[in-house]
Structure 1
Amino acid sequence: MRVLVTGAGGRLGRAVVPRLRDDGITVRATSRRPRTDQDVEWVVADLETGEGLDEAVAGVDAVLHLASAPTGGRTYEVDVLGTRRLVVAAGHADVRHLVYTSIVGVDRVPMPYYRRKLAAEQVVAAGPVPWSVLRATQFPEFLDELLVMSSRLGPTIGDRNVLAQPVDPGEVAARLSARLVAGPLRGIEEYGGPEVLRFDQAVRAWRAARHSRRPLLPVRVPGRLGRSLREGGLVTEALPRGARTWADYLADTYGGTARR
């Protein structure tokens, strides 16, 4: 099987590409700038303009669409219109399966980026290519970066009752590879980490791993957004789940934290 991977240079893409290759899948990867790799066929393509998409999808069996632009004001152009451009090109090329990676909570959490991701899901579902959507929970690296940012002024600031469910990118990559092999779901699958954590629990483990004494300064997220985050908008009960815990991530990243 030959698979085109968009967003192959991103955080998830860096886990997905070697996993696909290990599973015997031939990878063609997109980049907005020329790249070379003896193990991967890189092609230049731009979702924002559509340049190179027809050539990128030519001759592939499936497309794994990871690319996204969560910041910088390009989200609608890349995530929604860019996904439409990709779907159209894939349809013209008779691609047999398009897998779109999304986020658990896009249909429940009222954030602008999530609304764009939900719109992109709808573009995929309405398109001519047989499709699957995999919604994943948050990567531990993202939670780590969020805690660093929340601690810039001294204490770690956040809503102690917000719920999160970190999932390892490598495990998401394995799930995506299995979905490609299984074929189109024509539906939405959710995939999360092994445990649901309150924000204050995640902070305590993070502080211990970093040998930090920064206190938690509770600040309640207001309105519908806060309510959805506290009520589990970012977590899923779907099975199966990943196995690598927040404690595992912290131990590998900072050392000195026992795995549970």
Structure 2
Amino acid sequence: MTSPILLTGGTGTLGRLVVPLLRDAGRELRVLSRQRHEPGDGIEYVTGDLLKGEGIAPAVDGAEIILHLAGGPKGDDEATRNLMRVASGSGVRHVVLISVIGSDRVPLGYFRSQLGAERAVAESGLPWTTLRAAQFHDIVLTMMEKMTKLPVIPVPGGLRLQPVDPREVAARLVELTLDKPAGLVPDLAGPTVYGMADLSRGYLRARGKRRLMMPVRMPGKAGRAYRAGENLSLDGATVGKRTWEDFLAERVRPGR
């Protein structure tokens, strides 16, 4: 009998896509969640909180592989250190981490937190694999929904994104999880680089809306980093197939 794969963030956007793929591969899963869930369909749930350091020991116990997807707007570095502190004294043989492209180049708190999580895994003494991915289509959609509620859409000059479909990220993570530890693997990005105006126009067309756009300048070090494309992966990345337009055609309909 194989040991269960411990999955953090298993109930999130990415986790919900990963779970059926791992189950289809015949793997038993143990999901660490802040909320209580009933077990079923080869999935065991352990209630805990990585940031508070609660429930980690029973979640890790007996697992040889950890797929660490849990994340939030802040605190991912501390949560990952808590997880690695327990995992390093167990029988874990492979830790797989999802991170973000530009974690080592964009001077913003979220990116620094992601880099801290990467370092916690790499310095744990355990064999590891880290995949940096671009922003998911779903995240960009949420951003567009909020921005287009404004009468005038601000368009940060020089800000470009390379959005990727989360289903492609999930499939890649499952491949990496079931393979040998590989360290930092090539980034995974979408097939097209878009300026913010292009993303906004695409969303507006899909919704049948119109809005004025106003260019704005991003100040400081973060602005310089984005204008330099530090959040992009233009060379050597694995490139997904589904475009922003494909995603919009599937998810967005003309409406209010």
**TM-score, structure 1 length as denominator?**
0.91
Of 24, 27, 33, the residue aligned with 1:25 is 27
Rounded to whole Å, the distance in 1 between the matches of 2:230 and 2:253 is 31
| Aligned partner letter, 1:168 | D
Rounded to whole Å, the distance in 1 between the matches of 2:245 and 2:127 is 38
Query: Deviation digits for residues 86-144 of structure 1, max 9, x if unmatched?
Result: 11211222100001111001111111111111111111111121111111100111111
1:112 aligns with 2:114: no
Rounded to whole Å, the distance in 2 between the matches of 1:37 and 1:242 is 33
**TM-score, structure 2 length as denominator?**
0.92
Matches within 5 A, 1:161-180: 161-180=158-177
Rounded to whole Å, the distance in 1 between the matches of 2:228 and 2:186 is 20
| Aligned partner letter, 1:248 | D
Of 189, 209, 214, the residue aligned with 2:206 is 209
User: 3-state SS of the aligned residue for 1:189?
Assistant: coil
Aligned to 1:35: 37
Rounded to whole Å, the distance in 2 between the matches of 1:173 and 1:199 is 25
Asked if the contact 1:94–1:129 (Cα under 8 Å) also holds between the matched residues in 2, the reply is: no
Rounded to whole Å, the distance in 2 between the matches of 1:69 and 1:201 is 27
Asked if the contact 1:161–1:200 (Cα under 8 Å) also holds between the matched residues in 2, the reply is: no
| Aligned partner letter, 1:59 | G
Query: Deviation digits for residues 51-72 of structure 1, max 9, x if unmatched?
Result: 21111011112001111121xx
User: 3-state SS of the aligned residue for 1:200?
Assistant: helix
Aligned to 2:250: 252
Aligned to 1:49: 52
Question: Once superposed, which parts of structure 1, at least 4 consecutive aligned residues long, lie more than 6 Å away?
Answer: none
| Aligned partner letter, 2:250 | D
- Number of aligned positions between the proteins: 250
Rounded to whole Å, the distance in 1 between the matches of 2:134 and 2:60 is 28
| Aligned partner letter, 1:57 | V
Shift of 1:255: 4.1
Rounded to whole Å, the distance in 2 between the matches of 1:204 and 1:80 is 35
Of 223, 226, 229, the residue aligned with 1:229 is 226
Query: Deviation digits for residues 151-209 of structure 1, max 9, x if unmatched?
Result: 33312212143110111111100000011122111234311111111111111111110
Rounded to whole Å, the distance in 2 between the matches of 1:254 and 1:49 is 38
User: 3-state SS of the aligned residue for 1:92?
Assistant: coil
Mark the runs of 5 or more structure 1 residues left unpaired by the alignment: none
Mark the runs of 5 or more structure 2 residues left unpaired by the alignment: none
Shift of 1:240: 2.5
Aligned to 1:60: 63
Rounded to whole Å, the distance in 2 between the matches of 1:194 and 1:207 is 21
Aligned to 1:123: 120
Aligned to 1:85: 82
Of 12, 15, 28, the residue aligned with 1:13 is 15
Aligned-residue CA RMSD (Å): 1.5
Aligned to 2:98: 101
Shift of 1:148: 2.0
Of 235, 239, 242, the residue aligned with 1:241 is 239
| Aligned partner letter, 1:122 | R
| Aligned partner letter, 1:244 | R
User: 3-state SS of the aligned residue for 2:225?
Assistant: helix
Of 176, 193, 196, the residue aligned with 1:196 is 193
